[in-house]
Amino acid sequence: MDAAMRGDARKETPRSRLLAAALALYSRHGVNGTSLQMIADRLGVTKAAVYHQFRSKDAILLALLEPLVSDMREVVERAECERTRTAQVESVLTGVIDLAVRHREVSALMQADPAVPALHASQSDSAALSERIGQLLLGPDPEPGRLISVAMLGSALMMTGKNPKLAAVEDEELRRQMLVAARRLLGLRSRG
């Protein structure tokens, strides 16, 4: 794999440092509550230096969301290939929990920040992926109770990683416990 690196995970570049700073500020103050000046100040540079890396503020948000959206698409498509309802639910549940844990902050941002739907009105639609995840968990003709359980699960999975009390919990532990709790919430038996 060469210099074309995906997302922000590869190496310490000016771009990746900028994305990390932006994510921290977006998480705390929201996208609309964060100015380019704040991002520049945190990096110790000027606004113009920020604009050298990204052509607009939207582009920064898009770059932050892209790895998560990409992974979401993969999870959804894999789950939709399963042939039994049970296997679909199992696949999407483990997949989404894995996402939510690996991309803790970005998940909460995508779920809760009003700037995200405003942005994706024109871009690769995260809302459509969330919708497909919901459908996979709901199945056909869901009862009201199921509808409500799935709605609760959606918020819980995407927002929980942001909880400061869980900051010290390691990924594997968090993933395992969230899966157990999610199964209880949906009324699934634990896997033997």
Partner DNA sequence: GTCTATAGTCTGATAGAC
Partner DNA sequence: GTCTATCAGACTATAGAC
**Cβ closest to DNA, residue 41 vs residue 66:** 41
**Cβ closest to DNA, residue 17 vs residue 146:** 17
Q: Please, what is the minimum distance in Å from the beta carbon of residue 186 to DNA?
A: 40
Which spans of this chain sit near DNA (rule: CB under 7 A)?
A: 13-14, 34-38, 40, 44-49, 51-53, 55-58
Q: What is the DSSP letter of 12?
A: -
Q: Please, what is the minimum distance in Å from the beta carbon of residue 18 to its own copies?
A: 20
DSSP 130-175: HHHHHHHHH-SS--HHHHHHHHHHHHHHHHHTT-GGGTTS-HHHHH
Q: Please, what is the minimum distance in Å from the beta carbon of residue 11 to DNA?
A: 12
14 contacts: CB under 8 Å, gap ≥ 6: 53
Q: Please, what is the minimum distance in Å from the beta carbon of residue 36 to DNA?
A: 4
Element (H, E) at 180: helix 171-186
55 binds, among DNA, its own copies, none (CB under 5 to 8 A by kind): DNA
**Cβ closest to its own copies, residue 7 vs residue 154:** 154
The span from the CA of 178 to the CA of 142, in Å, is: 23
**Cβ closest to DNA, residue 39 vs residue 129:** 39
CA 161 from centre of chain: 10
25 binds, among its own copies, DNA, none (CB under 5 to 8 A by kind): none
191 contacts: CB under 8 Å, gap ≥ 6: 183
Residue 192 burial (C-beta neighbours within 10 Å; 0-12, 13-18, 19+) = exposed
Binding mask 3-42 for its own copies (x = CB under 8 A): -------------------------xxx-xx---------
